Amino acid sequence: MTYYLYILYSKASDLYYVGYTSDYVRRLEEHNSLSFGTFTSKHRPWSLEAVFSCGFIEPDAIRLERFIKRQKSRKLIERIVQGDY
């Protein structure tokens, strides 16, 4: 199973969201439709801005997601989305 890092964007809230999954199409649908009370439910609708294959090892995808989130840098995320990183 291949794991993916994905970046979502909420135009309504002008926010990015970073996550990982093995099925980014399903995950986007979940972010846009699952129950309320979650972070992503408050900032709908989300659009898929970028997807990157992380390989077959889930912990590698988790480490990459956590690294990006720990940076707390919108500029970094925008550079990744634009392909500059």
β-strands 15-21, 47-55: how paired?
unpaired
Q: Name the domain count of the chain.
A: 1
pLDDT tens per residue, the chain (85 residues)?
Answer: 999 999 999 999 999 999 999 999 999 999 999 887 889 999 999 999 999 999 999 999 999 999 999 999 999 999 999 987 6
- SS3 of residue 41 by DSSP: helix
CATH number for the domain spanning 48: value is 3.40.1440.10
Who's near 12: CB < 8 A, 6+ residues apart? 43, 44, 45
Spatial strand order of the sheet with 47-55 comes to 15-21, 3-10, 47-55
Whole-prediction pTM value? 0.94
CB 18 within 8 A of CB 80: no
Q: Which domain holds residue 63?
A: 3-82
pLDDT at 34: 87
